[in-house]
């Protein structure tokens, strides 16, 4: 019998594992892929190291404020900011028809941008920021509050509301077209108050760091292994069955597989309407020569005055998107390859229904259309010249990497903030506990380990 079994070697599972292993508990982490990291991982392809997922790490750790979530995370994992070697963004942009707002990791600069672009909204925007400053997004007892409702009670200009929603929704909303204000507050603070960065050594350096810390503390990592079922007596999980038929008995089970995906392992049916509908298509293109417009780190764009964050009716919806330039961060050693990532909303069911040959054909076609579309916002970027390789992800890739039903990026819109399930010793961590992104998912793993196990053995 072990103390804790963790399902999933994404960022939440690794963080939960480290936290538990620090206290000499016997922990086994099971990950179905050969490389940990979940959605944010890496793979070699044609001589290059491709990174799936990662655009930027949110919650950039400023030494001026060590009370922020990233510093909490470092203390809990007994790591330092130097271990993560995050480098700040240069400048990001939110572009809608007739207006463009820029932001850096210096929040007052963003306030100036809003003041200049929407002068009549200045005081109302500042009142909103002051409300946001006083809002406790970690108080899970606060009932659901529509973000659109809150924003429109402060801000009168609809275009500004849509522009504020666009990056926040793209970087973490499981709900279509609106989100709980707690989630908005958390994401807004992570992206705009604290800012964006990328690790000097890429995502691999962070994954290696976490894996080493976990195994050094005595944690057991089993890769290429899938948990197929969780056997229970109606109250407790008795044992997990892994793909080779081996049973594993554990006092506690943490699952980062997702709410309904975890319930499916216990034999429960999944209510189809409760699974997430938000999925993405993402292309990663590597160029031989440096790219133009070197000061843009990330571009969020939308072709229309209002932003439709919902499952598209076709394969993808290029009318809004995110374009990330991983090279355009303040690295100490400049990168030697030049990458562009483009993310669009995508429809899982339509991709799923394609035959193998249609799938390949549509991937190429939608990629070409995505490049053509974003060129309008980035006229200096010539996709037809010097592109060495590209790789394209669809909702089926996200499903493969995360096991999430519908390839839903941010899991179910139903979140379980306390991480509790119908079983006393089975807890959720990661996306469906309600914290997303790399930093959010690590905090989720830490919080759930503390709350459900460590607080009990330490009291
Ligand atoms: C295209 C894209 C871009 C993104 N960009 C960013 C970004 O720039 N910055 C950022 O902070 N976040 C980003 N995210 C979000 C971020 O990737 C996720 O929020 C985060 O990875 C979630 O971590 P997790 O541990 O909860 O889950 P996951 O990463 O989904 O990890 C869960 C793991 O569990 C494993 N698993 C599931 N079921 C089983 C089973 N039965 N047995 C064994 N293993 C199992 C899966 O293989 C997976 O490895 C992006 C996501 C996408 C899709």
Q: Is the CB of 280 under 6 A from ligand 1?
A: yes
- Does residue 47 have a pLDDT over 80? no
Q: Which atom of ligand 1 is nearest to the CA of 432?
A: 26
Q: Which atom of ligand 1 is nearest to the CA of 398?
A: 53
Q: Is the CB of 188 under 6 A from ligand 1?
A: no
In CATH, what is the architecture of 2-52+61-82+201-273+412-458? 3-Layer(bba) Sandwich (3.50)
Residue 223 or 246, more confident: 223
Q: Which atom of ligand 1 is nearest to the CA of 39?
A: 29
**pLDDT tens digits, one per residue of 249-259:** 999 999 999 99
Query: Percentage of the chain with pLDDT > 70?
Result: 98
Ligand 1 centroid, distance to 170 Cα (angstroms)? 15
pLDDT at 81 (0 to 100): 94
User: Residue whose CA is closest, atom 33 of ligand 1?
Assistant: 8
User: Residue whose CA is closest, atom 37 of ligand 1?
Assistant: 257
Closest CA to 206 of 340, 77, 27: 77
Q: Which atom of ligand 1 is nearest to the CA of 430?
A: 26
Residue 269's contacts (CB-CB under 8 Å, 6 or more residues apart) are none
Q: Is the CB of 257 under 6 A from ligand 1?
A: yes
Ligand 1 centroid, distance to 437 Cα (angstroms)? 8
Q: Report, as an integer, the average pLDDT of 32-41.
A: 88
Helix (H) or strand (E) holding 443: helix 437-449
User: Residue whose CA is closest, atom 2 of ligand 1?
Assistant: 53
- Does residue 115 have a pLDDT over 80? yes
pLDDT at 380 (0 to 100): 78
pLDDT at 269 (0 to 100): 83
**pLDDT tens digits, one per residue of 340-391:** 999 999 999 999 999 999 999 999 999 999 999 998 898 878 777 778 788 8
Q: Where does the pLDDT of residue 458 fall: very low under 50, low under 70, confident under 90, or very high at 90 and above?
A: low
Q: Is the CB of 398 under 6 A from ligand 1?
A: yes
Q: Report, as an integer, the average pLDDT of 437-459.
A: 91
Q: Is the separation of the CB atoms in 25 and 3 below 8 Å?
A: yes
Ligand 1 centroid, distance to 423 Cα (angstroms)? 24
Phi, psi of 148 (to 5 degrees): -60, -40
Return d(Cα 13, Cα 100) in angstroms, integer.
38
**pLDDT tens digits, one per residue of 64-107:** 888 899 999 999 999 999 999 999 999 999 999 999 999 999 99
pLDDT at 322 (0 to 100): 98
Q: Where does the pLDDT of residue 459 fall: very low under 50, low under 70, confident under 90, or very high at 90 and above?
A: low
Q: Is the CB of 230 under 6 A from ligand 1?
A: no
Cα 168 to chain centroid distance, Å, stands at 11
Q: Where does the pLDDT of residue 293 fall: very low under 50, low under 70, confident under 90, or very high at 90 and above?
A: low
Q: Is the CB of 190 under 6 A from ligand 1?
A: no
Q: Where does the pLDDT of residue 163 fall: very low under 50, low under 70, confident under 90, or very high at 90 and above?
A: very high
- Does residue 131 have a pLDDT over 70? yes
Q: Which atom of ligand 1 is nearest to the CA of 12?
A: 25
- Does residue 32 have a pLDDT over 80? yes
What's the mean pLDDT when you consider all of the chain?
93
Q: Report, as an integer, the average pLDDT of 322-334.
A: 91
pLDDT at 401 (0 to 100): 86
Ligand 1 centroid, distance to 38 Cα (angstroms)? 4
Q: Which atom of ligand 1 is nearest to the CA of 225?
A: 43
DSSP string computed for 229-266: EEEESSSSEEEEEETTS-EE-EEEEEE-S-HHHHHHHT
Q: Is the CB of 438 under 6 A from ligand 1?
A: yes
- Does residue 274 have a pLDDT over 80? no
User: Residue whose CA is closest, atom 51 of ligand 1?
Assistant: 53
Q: Report, as an integer, the average pLDDT of 416-422.
A: 93
Cα 403 to chain centroid distance, Å, stands at 15
Ligand 1 centroid, distance to 184 Cα (angstroms)? 20
Q: Which atom of ligand 1 is nearest to the CA of 438?
A: 11
pLDDT at 275 (0 to 100): 83
Q: Report, as an integer, the average pLDDT of 185-214.
A: 95
Return d(Cα 5, Cα 342) in angstroms, integer.
36
- Does residue 216 have a pLDDT over 90? yes
Q: Ligand 1 pocket test: which of 6, 7, 8 has the largest number of ligand atoms within 8 Å of its C-beta?
A: 8
pLDDT at 43 (0 to 100): 81
pLDDT at 13 (0 to 100): 97
pLDDT at 453 (0 to 100): 96
- Does residue 17 have a pLDDT over 90? yes
Residue 276 or 50, more confident: 276
| Long-range Cβ pairs for the range 125-129 (8 Å, 24+) | 125/154, 125/155, 125/160, 127/154, 128/154, 128/155
- Does residue 337 have a pLDDT over 90? no
Closest CA to 409 of 313, 318, 311: 311
Q: Ligand 1 pocket test: which of 28, 60, 256 has the largest number of ligand atoms within 8 Å of its C-beta?
A: 256
Would you list the domain boundaries of the chain? Answer: 2-52+61-82+201-273+412-458, 106-194, 277-402
Q: Is the CB of 411 under 6 A from ligand 1?
A: no
Q: Is the CB of 54 under 6 A from ligand 1?
A: yes
Residue 275 or 106, more confident: 106
Q: Is the CB of 32 under 6 A from ligand 1?
A: yes
């Amino acid at each position: 019998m072990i103390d804790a079994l963790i399902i999933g070697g994404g960022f939440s599972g690794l963080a939960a594992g480290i936290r538990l292993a620090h206290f000499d508990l016997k922990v086994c982490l099971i990950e179905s892929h050969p490389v940990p990291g979940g959605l944010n991982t890496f793979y070699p392809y044609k001589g290059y190291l491709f990174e799936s997922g990662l655009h930027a790490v949110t919650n950039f750790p400023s030494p001026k404020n060590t009370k922020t979530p990233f510093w909490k995370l470092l203390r809990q994992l007994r790591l330092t900011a130097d271990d993560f070697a995050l480098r700040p963004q240069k400048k990001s942009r939110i572009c809608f028809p007739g207006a463009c707002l820029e932001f850096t990791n210096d929040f007052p600069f963003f306030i100036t941008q809003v003041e200049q672009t929407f002068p009549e909204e200045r005081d109302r925007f500042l009142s909103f920021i002051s409300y946001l400053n006083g809002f406790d997004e970690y108080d899970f007892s606060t009932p659901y509050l529509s973000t659109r409702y809150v924003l429109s009670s402060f801000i009168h200009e609809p275009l500004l509301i849509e522009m504020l929603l666009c990056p926040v929704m793209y970087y973490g909303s499981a709900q279509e077209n609106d989100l709980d204000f707690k989630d908005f507050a958390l994401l807004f603070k992570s992206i705009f108050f604290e800012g964006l960065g990328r690790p000097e050594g890429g995502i691999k350096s962070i994954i290696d760091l976490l894996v080493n810390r976990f195994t050094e503390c005595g944690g057991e990592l089993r890769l290429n292994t899938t948990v197929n079922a969780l056997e229970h007596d109606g109250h407790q999980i008795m044992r997990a069955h892994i793909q080779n038929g081996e049973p594993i008995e554990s006092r506690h089970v943490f699952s980062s597989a997702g709410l309904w995906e975890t319930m499916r392992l216990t034999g429960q049916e999944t209510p189809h309407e409760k699974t997430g509908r938000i999925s993405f298509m993402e292309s990663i293109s590597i160029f031989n020569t440096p790219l133009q417009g070197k000061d843009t780190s990330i571009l969020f764009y939308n072709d229309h005055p209002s932003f439709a964050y919902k499952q598209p009716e076709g394969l993808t919806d290029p009318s809004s998107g995110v374009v990330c330039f991983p090279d355009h961060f303040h690295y100490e050693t400049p990168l030697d390859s030049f990458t562009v990532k483009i993310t669009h909303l995508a429809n899982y069911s339509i991709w799923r229904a394609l035959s193998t040959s249609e799938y390949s054909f549509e991937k190429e076609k939608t990629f070409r259309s995505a490049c053509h579309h974003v060129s309008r916002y980035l006229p200096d970027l010539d996709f037809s010249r010097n592109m060495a390789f590209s790789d394209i992800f669809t909702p089926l890739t996200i499903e493969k990497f995360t096991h999430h039903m519908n390839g839903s990026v941010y899991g179910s819109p139903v979140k379980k903030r306390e991480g509790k399930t119908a079983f006393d010793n089975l807890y959720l961590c990661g996306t469906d506990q309600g914290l997303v992104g790399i930093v959010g998912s690590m905090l989720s793993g830490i919080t759930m380990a503390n709350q459900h196990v460590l607080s009990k053995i330490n009291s």
